[in-house]
Structure 1
Amino acid sequence: MSASKQKKLNDMEVDPNGNESSSSDDDDDDEPHPEAYRGNEEVEIDFEGRAPVDPDAQGISQLLQRLFLRAHINCNQMADLIIAQNYVGSVICQCDDDEPVSETDDDNMVEDGTVFGITSVLNLTAKKDQPSIAQLRTYLLDRAKTHASESVQQQLKELLDNEQRHVGFLINERFINIPAQISVPLLQNLQQEIDAAKAKKMKFDFGSLFLLVKFYRKEAKKGKPAEDNYTNAEDELLSDRAKISFEYSVASETDSGMSGDWLEGDAVMTPYRKLLVLEAKQLPQLINDIQSFINGE
């Protein structure tokens, strides 16, 4: 991979006490934080997006494990699938402008740095015989059977069984401190890479995209309605745009010795997952909508 493959992102101002910091108390998002995040000051950090390579496997797997928790899904094998298709998708890394980048040796671009995020897509139709993908398909259908309406269950099954219109599993995971602004260039780059792969007749021509998102629910109390707080801010907009969705609590699946719930003031915050089904052809417009949403437009 040449240096031109690097996708340098905008400078990000990271506030450890910002609106996402409340999620750091739960164990399913108990992730390492950059040293620059210490204290109460706002710190500017340069990030870059680049193609995933072999040394990223553990970091990618750990991000996936925070999404799936105790589900029987082989996150190590899924990380290997993501790396094997490194012409599509990006990992988020911290820039190191002091060290030269080799134009010829991919491994020189990666030492033992932390993977701060992963944005990619896996084909749930074409790769259905891969162990981790088969496990993921079963997991989603089982969760739907328990938590979704019969209509949603039937629609999901029909989408996954349709060999003509493939389903992509969109992965958009990152450390909780990293602001939503970073999602725009990552998703734009992903769309461009999907288009390039489609032009080469590769299996990235999706009819639908599945996205599993994380949020916390402040339970209704004293006449006040429940309030949802999304770990990735852009997921709130995507939830509104989904053509199909269902949600479920994962409080019993966290690694905490407690119930998985935690308190914000006197309100109970319960961790949830929500499966979104999005129209793949709408992804470019959704990216534009995310940009507007982030800008408060």
Structure 2
Amino acid sequence: MAKKRAREADGATEAPDKMVEDSDSSDDEDFDMVNVDFEWFNFNEKVDFHGTKNLLRQLFDVDASLFDVSALTDLILSQSSIGSTVKTDGEESDPFAFVTALNIQEHRQKKPIGQIIEYLSEKAKANQSLSPIPGLLTSGKHVGLILSERLINMPSDIAPPLYTMLIDEIKDAVEDKEPYEFTHYLIVSKTYHEIESTLDVEERKKKKGKQDATLYYFHPEDEVLQKHAVAYGSYPFTKTDDGVADSKRAFQEMGVMPMGSMILIEASKFADAIGAVGEYLNAPS
């Protein structure tokens, strides 16, 4: 049995075990309950390459082509005891979610990490709220780069156990003298705005809609994590255009414009931040 599943069975982690789907929008119909068992596993180089790579592409969105995503995937899979995948059909199936932490200083000479350092530094320099990040990335300090992504319809309450297990694994690795004693954690994530669509031009002119300045979160836990951050903020993707927004159109008259985001948290405050995430996402509705 995989390590993650064994921990769950021992009661160390309470994981969500079902999703609910409405099979009919009518109020006259009963809800169909669909039980889905989520299993937590270590990364497996033999089966997780394509699934992890696809999730990384989703995380970096249109800018994924700026990185050697295959090499980044290989690096993540090579440290199988740090981080987790979430699956629903056994270890041989594709992951629906993952989280990992990479030591930026330890791997800075490797191509994918060098690319990410350069990319994140340039994005942070253009946003005053992210100003501490470029200097930190070149300071020689051991910064943990946290990459986490999940399929869009995965329930957000899988996030607390993912992060809790990550904290435990990093603690164990430090006790074993492995290079995971971080000063900070840098979480790479995504946000979005709803914007006026470039489609239906005449209709848009009549209604004179304006861009919605409200910031939304693909990962609800990010809104909690940033409250514990030294620095946080969003940045536009390099390859973003109006066509991207229309391709991700959420409503009839609005497009979705995704953006990258960074959240920098001191290592000493990370466990409390994850605890707050758990309280927020598991709070009774």
Q: Could you tell me which residue of structure 1 aligns to residue 127 of structure 2?
A: 148
Provide the residue aligned with 2:104 in structure 1.
124
What is the CA deviation profile of residues 111-162 of structure 1, one whole-angstrom value per residue up to 9, with x for unaligned ones?
3x111111110011111011100010011012223x312x744x22221122
Find the partner of 1:14 among 14, 19, 41: 19
Bigger radius of gyration, 1 or 2? 2
Task: Return closer, same or farther for 1:4/1:224 CA change in 2, 3 Å cut-off.
Answer: closer
3-state DSSP of counterpart to 1:205: coil
1:237 aligns with 2:231: no
Match of 1:284 among 271, 275, 281: 271
Identical amino acids, percent of aligned pairs: 26
Letter in 1 for 2:53: S
| Partner residue in 1 for 2:173 | 197
Letter paired with 1:49? W
Q: Sort the Cα spacing of 1:231 and 1:251 in 2 relative to 1 into closer, same or farther, 3 A.
A: farther
Query: After superposition, where does 1:201-220 map in structure 2 within 5 Å?
Result: 201-219=177-195
Q: Which amino acid aligns with 1:94?
A: T
In 1: Cα distance, 2:228 partner to 2:195 partner:
23
Output the CA distance in 2 between the equivalents of 1:198 and 1:266.
51
* Matched residue type, 2:55: L
Asked whether 1:46 is paired with 2:37, we answer yes
Which amino acid counterpart does residue 183 of structure 1 have in structure 2? A
Amino acid at match of 2:17: M
AA aligned to 2:153 is N
| 1:210–1:276 contact (8 Å) kept in structure 2 | yes
The residue matched to 1:264 in structure 2 has which SS?
Answer: coil
1:186 is the counterpart of 2:186: no
Structure-2 separation of matches of 1:143 and 1:216 = 16
Displacement, 1:295? 2.9
Pairwise CA RMSD of aligned residues? 2.8
Structure 1 residue 257, shift from structure 2 partner: 6.5
* Structure 2 unaligned spans of 5+: 9-13, 23-30, 197-207
Taking a change above 3 Å as real, the CA distance of residues 251 and 82 of structure 1, as seen in their structure-2 partners, is: closer
In structure 2, distance between residues paired with 1:49 and 1:89: 10
Whether contact under 8 Å (1:207, 1:280) holds in the other structure is yes
* Alignment-derived partner of residue 84 in structure 1: 78
Q: Which residue, out of 57, 61, 66, partners 1:65? A: 57
Output one character per residue of 1:40-81: Cα deviation in whole Å (capped at 9) or x when no partner. 845220011111011201111111111123341111111111
Structure 2 residue identity aligned to 1:148 = N
Deviation track 1:162-191 (CA, whole Å, cap 9, x = no partner) reads 22x311111121111111111111111110
1:229, distance to aligned residue in structure 2 (A): 2.4
Unmatched 5+ stretches in structure 1: 18-39, 97-109
Q: TM-score, normalised by structure 2?
A: 0.79
Distance 1:258 1:268 in 2: 5
Give the counterpart letter for 2:79 in structure 1. Q
TM-score (norm 1): 0.76
Q: Structure 2 vs 1, CA of residues 203 and 254 (structure 1 numbering), >3 Å: closer, same or farther? A: farther
For 2:74 and 2:211, locate their aligned partners in 1 and report how far apart those are by CA, in whole Å.
45
Relative to 1, partners in 2 of residues 1:243 and 1:249: Cα closer, same or farther, differing over 3 Å? same
> Residues 255, 196 of structure 1: CA spacing in aligned structure 2 closer, same or farther, 3 A cutoff?
farther
Check the 8 A contact 1:251/1:261 in 2, yes or no: no
The farther-off stretch of 191-200 and 265-274 is 265-274
